[in-house]
Amino acid sequence: MLAIAAFVAIPRLTKPRPAHAAAQPTVPVVATAAGQRDVPIFYDALGTVSALNTVAIRAQVTGQIISVDFTQGQDVHKGDVLAKIDPAPLQAALDQAIAKKAEDEAQLVSAQKDLVRFKTLVLKNAETQQNVDIQQAKVDQLKAMIDADQAAIEAAQTQLNYATITAPIDGVVGFRQVDIGNIIHTSDVNPLTVLTQIKPCVAIFTLPQGDLGPVREAMLKGPVEVIAFDQDDAQSLAKGELLLIDNQIDQSTSTIRLKAQFPNADERLWPGEFAHIHILVTTRKNAVTLPPVAVQRGPDGYYVWVIKHDDTVEQRPIQAEIVDDDTAVIRKGLGAGERVVIDGQSRLDVGNHVAIRPAAAPPQHPDEG
């Protein structure tokens, strides 16, 4: 009987080949070059516009209004007639004071003549010195009365002048609150009108206590420019100058009040209006700038993704100051002209190759062509 040999295939052990690391993919990003320019540094605050002067026009004498010589909302100048009060009673008081002075002056002339006669007679021993002294006292008394009469005339003339109400300042007239024919009193609660000076005008606003030092330093160097924007902080309304810093800090809020003045020649600022105030504190000369979207914040502070010459990226720490929505000033860590990633940072790792793609166009309004 023949034996049949069985062959079993034994697998050959081979040494595995080393696995090659997969090549890192190229990451598409949007980039920009760091710019260099002078950057103005503004502090922002919310303030209230106020009139430079506000005058409640009131009567200084009581009487009937016989004319109102202004139109509500009218621009008036200092000295313009606003209204007139019936002058008849005041004119009569003035005439009476003038007549009283004339009467006393006539008595003085007579008394002075008697005094001369008394002095002549006393030299001839025909009159006593006592009577001369009495007559001298009478003359002096009449002179004093005439001085009082003159004061009464001036007072009456002043009262008569008050019958014509004039504008004490340049400004805009408000609502008329007393009509022609009414009796106006010096003690009335409501004024005839309110006159407001809005050219120039002022804005009062507050800043945090920490901003006081830079603002004071700016004022020591010269006039500090201030720009007023509308309530939405979108449109510039007027340019002016910082007028003063309040003399003490509000400890309850740790803020300081400031006042700025604006020429307001075009009357774009109106008393009572809320406005965003931008104070130009300094200007960074030849500053390196980036869009704020390029600046990232990590546990150790700000950093940016810099694209090197071989199109790989590195994470570089920087010292930065976010000035506004469009500008970040790089104080240290980046030079002008270096390329920086502004979109796509979340997909990056150190050493990644990047492909720079154009930025997406902003969405177009349907009405735009």
Question: Where is pLDDT greater, at 48 or 120?
Answer: 48
240 and 337 in a single domain? The answer is no
Q: Is residue 17 in some structural domain?
A: no
275 and 345 in a single domain? The answer is no
Q: Is residue 361 in some structural domain?
A: no
76 and 146 in a single domain? The answer is no
343 and 313 in a single domain? The answer is yes
Q: What is the DSSP string of 191-227?
A: -SEEEEEEEEEEEEEEEEGGGHHHHHHHHHHSPPEEE
Q: Supply the CATH number for residue 128's domain.
A: 1.10.287
Calculate the average pLDDT of the chain: 89
Residue 68: domain span: 59-85+166-191
Amino acid at 118: F
Check: CB of residue 88 under 8 Å from CB of residue 137.
Answer: no
In angstroms, what is the C-alpha Rg of the chain?
44
Instruction: Name the domain count of the chain.
Output: 4
Provide the whole-model pTM: 0.71
177 and 119 in a single domain? The answer is no
Residue 10 scores a pLDDT above 80: no
Q: Supply the CATH number for residue 301's domain.
A: 2.40.420.20
Q: Is residue 178 in some structural domain?
A: yes
Q: Is residue 337 in some structural domain?
A: yes
149 and 212 in a single domain? The answer is no
Name the domain boundary from 285, 312, 343.
285
Q: Is residue 225 in some structural domain?
A: yes
The whole-angstrom separation of Cα 340 and Cα 34 is: 7
171 and 226 in a single domain? The answer is no
- Can you name the residues that pair with 339 across neighbouring β-strands? 33, 307
pLDDT band at 127 (very low <50, low <70, confident <90, very high): confident
Tokens of 132: 């001369």
251 and 300 in a single domain? The answer is no
Residue 126: its pLDDT value, please? Answer: 77
Residues contacting 169, CB < 8 A, separation 6+ = 53, 55, 78, 195, 197
For residues 294-310, average pLDDT = 93
Tokens of 363: 């969405």
Q: Could you tell me what percent of the chain has a pLDDT over 70?
A: 91
Residues contacting 282, CB < 8 A, separation 6+ = 40, 41, 214, 218
305 and 230 in a single domain? The answer is no
Q: Is residue 351 in some structural domain?
A: yes
202 and 280 in a single domain? The answer is yes
Summarised one tens digit per residue, pLDDT across range 191-222 is 999 999 999 999 999 999 999 999 999 999 99
Q: Supply the CATH number for residue 174's domain.
A: 2.40.50.100
48 and 98 in a single domain? The answer is no
Residues contacting 351, CB < 8 A, separation 6+ = 24, 312, 313, 314
For residues 319-348, average pLDDT = 91
Q: Is residue 367 in some structural domain?
A: no
173 and 212 in a single domain? The answer is no
Q: Supply the CATH number for residue 244's domain.
A: 2.40.30.170
For residues 313-323, average pLDDT = 91
Q: Is residue 302 in some structural domain?
A: yes
